[in-house]
Amino acid sequence: MQALHLLAGPERFDCILMDVQMPVLDGLAVTRIIRALEHGDPLSQAMDADLVKRLSQQLGGSGRLPIIAMTAHAMNDDQKMCLAAGMDDYLTKPFQPEQLNMLLTGQLWTGSRPSGAAETVQGSAGDTVQSQSSMNAVLAPANQAEVRNFLQNASGLTPEQTERALVLLQQNLARLLDECRQALGRGDYRQVAESGHTIKGTLLQAGLERWALLAQQVVDRAKEAQQGRGVADLAELQQALQQGVSLFLDMPAQEDTGEVTDAAIEQEAIDTADLHHPQEPGQDSLQAGNILILDDDPFICNMASSVLEHLGYQATVVSSGEDALQVYEEALAQRKPFGLVIVDAHIPAGMGGMEVAQELLRLDPQARLLACSGDHSDPIMVDHLSHGFVGALAKPYTIDTMAQAVRLALQTGG
């Protein structure tokens, strides 16, 4: 009720973080009231007439106010209930700062209330999507300055490592964008969705969150296109993503290090991981400090191992579930088990994250598994404990979030 009185006042809000369970009026009821007043519909419950009048003046005709649910019970049915009430997204408690930041960035970018928001057009399924011209107006082209700043400050890279990472990033993105474009050209919408998902993760790890959100829109529209809807919207979104990120790809890095293949990118991640500082006395044991990373994106593997190096851990990098099982089993046979396995929740080719977790726990019931994803709504991230994971880590990786997640994971289970 206090929130409604605030909304009826002179101050305007760009987004609401709504707790689902509250006294007097719960979050679902408050959301239904807001949505009804936005559309000028009658209310289903009695309310003070003056409050309703003031709310109608503030909310009516002003567009949709983004509402993000906050709940500790975000199972599938709870999520559907939140969305059905009119909420735009949800956060599961406890949540990582990066999850909140990504959601707020997305809602304030695509929402219709904030000043300067982009114009919208109706998709074939009735969903609201941004037109290409408005997206180009809202999103400045990706540039090396912001990526360089993010990599150095968030990932702890040296200037030399940063320039090398920029080259790897450019080549990785160029390949992924080309895959996405070719898949769209031949009508392979499943591959468009897979490539878009990987592009999103790469952009997140480069600190380009708004472009990552655009990549997520490509993924969403590609999934709709598989059902015969939103094909025109998908082409427009893919073109906007291609054009904006291509400007970044055309910028030369400070050093010309030559062509780098996928194998070379992954090998660099492995070589970098071998240079980790030894554990100091009193820290986790040597085996606990030995971490296996499973991610199919070479750039993200490189970043993860660099962050772990900065934190003093030793890392081994693999790009497939099959390789993860083989490497883990060999370590067990040598009586040098990994203290932790960081598993990408979404691996399109071969074994998925959930299947890998099941097989690892079959090999070693004491295995500690940490789930990671740039999609906070992934079932594994929403309820990692029921899938055998001791924790969940939201992408992008930073020194602070990696340090906290790894330490908590090493103190749990086993």
pLDDT grade for 326, boundaries at 50, 70 and 90: very high
111 and 136 inside one domain = no
Per residue in 171-222, pLDDT tens? 888 999 999 999 999 999 999 998 898 898 888 888 887 788 888 888 888 9
Asked whether residue 70 is assigned to any structural domain, the reply reads yes
Asked whether residue 126 is assigned to any structural domain, the reply reads no
Average pLDDT value over all residues in the chain: 77
Number of domains in the chain: 3
CA–CA separation, 312 vs 290, rounded Å?
10
16 and 108 inside one domain = yes
239 and 313 inside one domain = no
278 and 404 inside one domain = yes
CATH number (domain holding residue 17): 3.40.50.2300
Task: Show the tokens assigned to 299.
Answer: 């750039």
150 and 287 inside one domain = no
142 and 231 inside one domain = yes
Share of the chain above pLDDT 90, in %: 18
Mean pLDDT confidence for 71-86: 71
Mean pLDDT confidence for 336-362: 88
Most confident residue range from 207-211, 212-216, 303-307, 330-334: 330-334
Residue 34's contacts (CB-CB under 8 Å, 6 or more residues apart) are: 4, 7, 16, 55, 59, 65, 67, 86
The answer to whether residues 380 and 373 touch, using CB atoms and an 8 Å cutoff, is yes
pLDDT grade for 230, boundaries at 50, 70 and 90: low
Asked whether residue 171 is assigned to any structural domain, the reply reads yes
108 and 176 inside one domain = no
> Where in the sequence is the domain holding 281, given as residue range(s)?
262-410
404 and 312 inside one domain = yes
Asked whether residue 74 is assigned to any structural domain, the reply reads yes
298 and 393 inside one domain = yes
Per residue in 85-115, pLDDT tens? 888 877 777 666 656 766 665 554 444 443 3
CA–CA separation, 317 vs 300, rounded Å?
10
pLDDT grade for 375, boundaries at 50, 70 and 90: confident
229 and 307 inside one domain = no
Between the CA of residue 185 and those of 181, 198, 235, 321, what are the distances in Å?
6, 18, 9, 30
Per mean pLDDT, which range of 26-40, 260-274, 341-355 is the poorest? 260-274
267 and 299 inside one domain = yes
